[in-house]
Amino acid sequence: MTTIAAPVTATPTPTPANDSHKKNRIQVSNTKKPLFFYVNLAKRYIQQHNEVELSALGMAIATVVTIAEILKNNGLATEKKVLTSTVGMKDENKGRLVQKAKIEIVLGKSEKFDNLMSPTAAAAATESEAATDDKK
């Protein structure tokens, strides 16, 4: 009886930090979804993972900053890290390499997050927004 040995290649298992890092990333676009879609998605990611990473290129950077400021000003998140860089991308029209600005903002769960996101707090916020709208 002959034994044949086949080479075994091991695939590296992702580290837990790297694995969760990708699960809680939101890549924001100016044209695809409305602003509050991303705000609500970020709230859900913070609830599930205790932090969220917002990422954008070029003109969408202003949208990411707005989302982060909304979450921070409402007491839902705290700023953990802000990274800026440039990324080389191929221009679709001219076929040449262009530099695009990139931002990554990591937000963590605030101490008040769970209290603010409880159903009673959400209902009270909705009622106060409705009352404010009525006064206008």
Judge residue 38's burial from the number of C-beta atoms within 10 Å of its C-beta, 0-12 exposed, 13-18 middle, 19 or more buried. Answer: buried
pLDDT at 130 over 70: no
Cβ–Cβ < 8 Å for 56, 27: yes
Task: Using CA atoms of 128, 133, 134, 136 in order, give the dihedral in degrees to the nearest 10.
Answer: 130
Q: Please give the pLDDT value at position 46.
A: 94
pLDDT in tens, 14-57: 344 444 446 899 999 988 899 999 999 999 999 999 999 999 99
- The residues, ordered by sequence, that sit 6+ positions from 82 with a Cβ below 8 Å of its Cβ are 103, 104, 105, 106
103 residue type, one letter? I
User: pTM score, two decimals?
Assistant: 0.70
Calpha distance 51→39 (Å, rounded): 13
Query: Which pLDDT band, with edges at 50, 70 and 90, does 121 fall under?
Result: low
